Every structure is written in C-alpha cells, then in structure tokens.
Structure 1
C-alpha cells in the first residue's frame, strides 16, 4: 500500500541553480582593442592616433570659427560709420560673447562625442562590469 501512495503522489521537484547564461563570460575571439592600446602595439597606436586626429580636427574647427568671428570685427568697425560708439559696444559687448559661448559649447560636445566613440570602439560590448577606462 505504501507503494501505491508513493506512485500517486507528485514527483518531487528539484531546482538546479547555477550561473545564468547571460552572466557567463565568453573568451574573446580576438584580442580586445583595449589590450592592444595598453600593450602599445601598432594597432593600438593607430586607435590612439585616430582619436588624437579627430580631437585635433575639432579643435582646429573651433579655432577657425573663433578666428573668423574675431577677425571680422576690425573689418566691421572699419566700415564708414562703423566707428560709432554704439556699434562698437554692441559688436564687442553683446554679439561676440554669445557666439564665443556657442563655439565653445560645440567644441566640448564634439570632443566628448569623439571620446565616447573611442571608448565604444575599444571596450568589449559584452563587458558591462566596467563603466569606462
């Protein structure tokens, strides 16, 4: 009779726990770009050179815009009637600083985007444990 009761009862469930598949780390199929940079290989040097080139391009663009802005002021003030006091104060005190602020803001955003793109390039997308360098 004991055998009949055991066969009628539901089988005992066992829970198997382990590391989830999402949490498992796979071995990289290739050497990550981060190790290429830290080991100072030619590939790593190419990555760093590309970042420096993009940052230089952004800096030269901002410098060119600033030079264009400030360089045109003497031409504006040399125009006939351009030497009046009101126009000089408006040009120097009101118009120049917001434009300089916009140039600076553009440069900072571009530099941050360059660094974010570089960080995204050299970090392993499966490695979410580290937030950056």
Structure 2
C-alpha cells in the first residue's frame, strides 16, 4: 500500500534580482559632508582651497597683464601712436579670455574631482574629460 502524501508545499522566494547590486544610499564621503563631521568639513575645505588657488592664479595673471602694460608703453616707439590703441583694443582681450578660460577649466576640474570623491563609482554619469 502506497501512502498518499500531499505534494510538497511551494514556497516563493523574493529578493533582489540577480545581476543587480545593492548600493548604500549615501557614500561615506557624502554622508560625512551632509552630517557636517570633521572629515566632511575637511573635504569641503579642500575643495574651497583648490578653488581659491585657481582664482588667485587667474587674478595674479590678470594683475601681471595689467601691470606690464604701463611698462610696455614707456618704450619710446610704443609709447605713442596707434600701437597703443592696438595693444589696448585688440591684444589685451584675447589674453584676458585665455586667462578666464583657464580659470573656468580649472574650476570645473576641481568640481569634477570633488564630485568623483563623494559619489559612488557605479553612479558615475560617464567618462570624465582628460586633463
């Protein structure tokens, strides 16, 4: 006599699908900053210091440009005539544009480095621009 056994009970297993990865909601650096800990303040201070360094570098280049103009105009051939207007009207602005472009590029690189520090690599938006 074969005993009639009920079929085994089916169980449904739920969980994270295969291939997906659990990520913490915040990376340690991001939580350090949001919780305003000493380490978070150090991260922010480092960003501010690098941005200040970039700003002071751009300011120094601009001051150097503006400070050398009177010295150039002291030269006998340059001190009078249309060459003064060419230097002031045409040549100064591309140099100022290059200084500004350098500053913006440097500031964006500082921000990208900081963002790379505080974000999870899996959340990265894409490849970073080469330096």
TM score, norm. by length of structure 2: 0.76
Aligned partners of 2:76 and 2:47: how far apart in 1? 47
Of 74, 80, 83, the residue aligned with 2:76 is: 80
Aligned partners of 2:117 and 2:29: how far apart in 1? 8
Aligned partners of 1:75 and 1:128: how far apart in 2? 50
Correspondences of 1:36-51 after superposition (within 5 Å): 36-51=32-47
Structure 1 unpaired stretches of 5+: 1-16
C-alpha RMSD of the superposition: 2.5
Give the match for residue 3 of structure 2. Answer: none
Give the match for residue 25 of structure 1. Answer: 22
Of 68, 80, 88, the residue aligned with 1:92 is: 88
- Change beyond 3 A, Cα 1:108–1:27: closer
1:36 and 1:44 in contact (8 A); partners too: yes
Aligned partners of 1:50 and 1:92: how far apart in 2? 38
Of 106, 109, 120, the residue aligned with 1:110 is: 106
- Change beyond 3 A, Cα 1:128–1:72: closer
Cα deviation, 1:2-35, whole Å, max 9, x if unaligned, reads: xxxxxxxxxxxxxxx974444221458x961001
Structure 2 unpaired stretches of 5+: 1-13, 126-131
- Change beyond 3 A, Cα 1:21–1:56: farther
- Change beyond 3 A, Cα 1:78–1:110: same
